[in-house]
Amino acid sequence: MQSKLERYAETYKLIGKLELILRDQLIVTLSALALEKGYAQWQSVLPKSIFTRSVGKEIKLGFARQVLSQKYYTDLWVPATHLMFSGLPNASSLKSCQMVENRMHYATQTRNRVCHFIFDNIHNVEHEKANLRWLIAALGENS
């Protein structure tokens, strides 16, 4: 078990970094969109189908995944959230949105496995880390 925990150590750090970057950038990006639309709070720009009790430091990876879904391509991605992905060429495109959504889905699965100590996918740890690094780089950060 010790070696499995050690193999997931870097993955855990990358998940934390991704979650912190997303938390900060989502609030800044959605706040700018809210200001542009004349709303006082960033939560006001969220479609009614996005339910959250989360605010500020309580925003979780699952919430970020939901907001970055292609389901909200016209509502959130095109006007605002694509701006978070300065590391992507043509970030506003539907293809970029779909790519981010797919990678966020995989990152959320990785997060759940790592944080709940489920080792059934440990043979893919390098692939999982590569996915997390890709998202961090797409967000314009270094991993």
Query: 113-119: long-range contacts at Cβ-Cβ below 8 A with a sequence spacing of 24 or more?
Result: 114/8, 114/11, 114/12, 114/15, 115/12, 115/15, 117/5, 119/4, 119/8
- In order, the DSSP letters of 57-87 are GG--HHHHHHHTSGGGIIIIITTTGGGG-TT
Residue 34 has pLDDT above 80, yes or no: yes
Average pLDDT (118-123) is 78
Q: Per-residue pLDDT tens for 71-92?
A: 999 999 999 999 999 999 999 9
Rounded Cα–Cα distance for residues 42 and 45 (Å): 6
Rounded Cα–Cα distance for residues 90 and 46 (Å): 23
pLDDT-above-90 percentage for the chain: 69
Predicted TM-score of the model (pTM): 0.90
